[in-house]
């Protein structure tokens, strides 16, 4: 019993600190520290304004940042207070961050900006009709806009000149990995003869929207086609009879000689 008590005593008392207060939790063995530089451009006031942010992130929480609008570091959590106080005491560090507005933001924007901001690539638009069930009267019309830049685009379906809102399903803008994007918009409907569907695409690269049409043939058009087929057939029959009669008469004259 004495030996058992001696063994239990230290184990019990090690769970609490002085005065019965639990010890602080041990620091995690693995953590993620990130540093992110961000440039923000704006001309809302008529003048170009550039703001530089240098962020310090511990795991998923931003603990401190340098903001060029303030010209110094600021702590966002108690964990970032010692770091912000130390960096603000370093004259060279502050001068380096303050100069980053020109050195990092404006300098890189002059290089990348004309390519990224002014670049325009027109979308290639196609319509693909499919049937999910061959026995079903419903048809799936898929409009694809491919290889366009910038990313913002508007794709809409029109039925007989009016915007279709029911049975329309929008896909995401997918990045192709070559500075271009693609997207698809599907329309599910039951086409009737004479219905005309159109996929209309608006994009920054276009002066006017692109409109691609798909439609069912009209009944009158089908009947007119049948009439013309009958007329052509009758004419061919008359020509055939005339040629036959001419050849028959020629054979008779040759036989008499």
**162: nearest Cα among 126, 180, 140, 187:** 187
The pLDDT of residue 119: 86
Cβ neighbours for 253, distance < 8 A, ≥ 6 positions apart: none
Q: Which residue has the higher pLDDT, 138 or 47?
A: 138
Q: What is the pLDDT of residue 24?
A: 67
Residues 39 and 104: their CA atoms lie apart, in Å, by: 8
Cβ-in-10-Å burial (0-12, 13-18, 19+) of 66 comes to buried
* Residue 51 and residue 39 in contact, taking contact as beta carbons nearer than 8 Å: yes
Q: What is the pLDDT of residue 10?
A: 41
pLDDT confidence bin for 190, thresholds 50/70/90:
very high
Higher model confidence: residue 177 or residue 107?
107
Least confident range of 104-108, 127-131, 222-226: 222-226
- Please state which of the ranges 122-126, 154-158, 162-166, 236-240 shows the lowest mean pLDDT: 236-240
Phi, psi at 97, each rounded to 5°: -70, -40
- For the stretch 21-57, pLDDT in tens is 666 667 667 788 899 999 988 877 667 789 999 999 9
pLDDT average, residue stretch 82-110: 94
- Percent of the chain whose predicted confidence (pLDDT) is above 70: 72
Q: How much is the average pLDDT of 65-71?
A: 95
Dist CA 14 CA 68 (whole Å): 49
pLDDT at 217 over 60: yes
């Amino acid at each position: 019993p004495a030996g058992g008590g001696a063994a239990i005593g230290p184990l019990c008392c090690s769970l609490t600190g002085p005065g019965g207060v639990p010890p602080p939790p041990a620091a995690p063995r693995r953590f993620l520290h990130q540093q992110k530089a961000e440039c923000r451009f704006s001309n809302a006031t008529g003048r170009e304004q550039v703001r530089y942010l240098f962020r310090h992130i511990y795991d998923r929480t931003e603990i401190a940042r340098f903001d060029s609008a303030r010209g110094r570091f600021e702590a966002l959590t108690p964990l970032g207070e010692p770091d912000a106080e130390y960096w603000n005491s370093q004259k060279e560090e502050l001068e380096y961050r303050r100069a980053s507005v020109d050195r990092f933001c404006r300098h890189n924007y002059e290089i990348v900006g004309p390519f990224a901001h002014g670049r325009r690539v027109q979308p290639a638009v196609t319509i693909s009709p499919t049937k999910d069930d061959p026995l079903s009267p419903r048809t799936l019309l898929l409009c694809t806009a491919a290889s366009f830049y910038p990313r913002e685009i508007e794709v809409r379906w029109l039925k007989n000149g009016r915007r279709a809102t029911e049975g329309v399903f929008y896909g995401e803008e997918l990045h192709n990995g070559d500075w271009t994007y693609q997207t698809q918009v599907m329309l599910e409907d039951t086409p009737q003869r004479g219905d005309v569907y159109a996929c209309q695409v608006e994009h920054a690269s276009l002066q006017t929207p692109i409109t691609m049409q798909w439609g069912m043939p009209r009944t009158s058009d089908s009947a007119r086609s049948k009439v013309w087929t009958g007329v052509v057939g009758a004419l061919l029959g008359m020509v055939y009879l005339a040629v036959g009669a001419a050849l028959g008469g020629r054979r008779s004259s040759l036989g008499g000689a």
